[in-house]
Structure 1
Amino acid sequence: MTDDRFAHAPHAEGIPAATVVVFRRAADGGPPEILMTVRSRSMSFAGGAAVFPGGRVDEADFELAKTLDSDIEQDELAHRVAAIRETLEETGLAIGMRGEVDASLAGKARELLLERGELAPVLDKMGWQLDPSEVLPFARWFPKNEKLSRVFDTRFYLADLGTGAVDITVDQTENVRLFWTTAQGALDRSETGELTIIYPTRRNLERLAQFTDFAQAADDCRRHPVRTITPFLSEEDGQRWLRIPDDAGYPVTGEPLDAVMRG
């Protein structure tokens, strides 16, 4: 059956992008941990902020998507390809792959990806096949703003590493740090000033903090079909708030505009 969870979301002028929330089980049996990266302060978008691995969808991702045998719609498939590619490039984790995959092979694949800049030759060299069903659609954010020259239309995905006993290494280009944390832990560290978190990331962390394991997160995806979220301004008791729709699965739907960290 065709996966049409994004089919009715509006196409607009934003730069297509994809990002992945990678889960692993906590060693102490506590809440699941997720992988985050801190972007270089030199980056024009979200410089210095803690975000999930990801980036823009390249033309090569669209071309690779055309070659895949899948019922997933082509545009959506290209976004999943980008999510898988960016995760390998930025973290060294090979998600969404079928074939012989271990830490050593993932390292070699990452080196080749950084050299070639495209995922297709990596798959050929490693003898891997993509399994886009391993990245689950979670959300889509498009913060339209005519004052900004670069606005990203970003699709968020979830992926599960299970025990997560793997190596991660920062790419030291766009990102300067990689770390595992619980969603609530990231929120707590932002309150102390240890982490900088932009508005979409904060709202998604609050949603992720509700889940006790990956299965619960996957169930939430099924219960809340993805729709494009565009934050909007409201006036409340003389104060301006930045809000999102209250029926999209998010426990917190806004905050005062003067408290918002934007990219």
Structure 2
Amino acid sequence: MSHAEAIPAATVVVMRDGGGGLPELLMVERSRAMSFAGGALVFPGGRIDPGDHLFTDTHEDSAARVAAIRETIEEAGLALGLDCDAATLAKIREDLHAGRPFAQLLAEASLALDLDVLVPFARWLPYGLPHRVFDTRFYLARAPEGAAPLVDGSENVRLCWITARGALDAADRGEAMLIYPTRRNLERLALFDGFDAAMAHARRFPVETITPFVESRDGVDWLCIPEGLGYPVTAERMDRAVRA
């Protein structure tokens, strides 16, 4: 599959201050019925729709930011870069679920998006998978004050606020499933004591497209990513890696 055939997608790591001194991340558990990452714990996000290009410039990053904001509303009922009350947000979410265009809903409510609330963090493009391949841009965002997300109950069956280390530990205990990119990103996010530290770190590393590759080490295959992109762990045994 060529780069052009990959499905453009976007996801966002929403962070809030945690009671234990470590930031908590908003994660959703995918329905096991979903063909991609069924049953996995992931960050809110999804594919970039044609309508996400309608009220931005032609740069793919802008459409990806719109998609990340739209998907977070759809999946978690959480508004990023959007100044509106709870009733308006609930109506927009309901209309999105009904298939109405996001740009039209914002125009009707006289609302504009602040795309700058999203900080570029990573871009992953895995190949060699037995299903559709996604070219996914990851962003960081600070949780809005008083955020009270609600699961959509269709694509996702549960949502939670959890620390990066907490999610990794849950997976190691067999209580959660993490696909390879999510695990690597959680290991990176576990380095930070808050949103500001994560944002500063992200800005030190220009976003490069990450395509995992297989490397044999002493007769054992490892799934690897390049060094120097901000990730503390860059390899995992193939027989332990979850590739959706």
Answer whether TM exceeds 0.5 for this pair: yes
For the pair 1:25 / 2:17, whether they are aligned, the reply is yes
Q: Distance in 2 between matches of 1:254 and 1:213?
A: 26
**CA drift at 1:115:** 2.2
Of 82, 85, 93, the residue aligned with 1:110 is 93
Q: Distance in 2 between matches of 1:83 and 1:92?
A: 12
Contact 2:180 2:243 in 1 (8 A): yes
Task: Give the fraction of aligned pairs with identical amino acids, expressed as a percent.
Answer: 54
**CA drift at 1:203:** 0.1
Secondary structure in 2 matching 1:123: helix
Contact 2:54 2:103 in 1 (8 A): no
Q: Give runs of aligned pairs for residues 1-263 of structure 1, distance below 5 A.
A: 12-26=4-18, 28-66=19-57, 74-97=59-82, 99=83, 101-145=84-128, 148-161=130-143, 164-263=145-244
Q: Deviations over 1:110-146 (max 9, x none)?
A: 112222442112212222101111111100000022x
Secondary structure in 2 matching 1:85: helix
Secondary structure in 2 matching 1:112: helix
Q: Deviations over 1:147-201 (max 9, x none)?
A: 5341000000011015x52221111111111111000000000011110000000
Q: Distance in 2 between matches of 1:253 and 1:117?
A: 41
What is the CA RMSD across the aligned residues, in angstroms? 1.5
Q: TM-score, normalised by structure 2?
A: 0.95
Q: Which runs of 5+ in 2 are unaligned?
A: none
Q: TM-score, normalised by structure 1?
A: 0.88
Q: Which runs of 5+ in 1 are unaligned?
A: 1-9, 67-72
**CA drift at 1:11:** 5.0
Q: Distance in 1 between matches of 2:16 and 2:101?
A: 27
Q: Distance in 1 between matches of 2:74 and 2:216?
A: 42
Q: Distance in 1 between matches of 2:139 and 2:179?
A: 18
Q: Distance in 1 between matches of 2:109 and 2:99?
A: 14
Q: Distance in 2 between matches of 1:117 and 1:210?
A: 39
Paired residues in the alignment total: 243
Q: Distance in 1 between matches of 2:62 and 2:122?
A: 15
Q: Deviations over 1:46-67 (max 9, x none)?
A: 000000000000111122324x
Structure 1 runs of 4+ with >4 Å offset: none
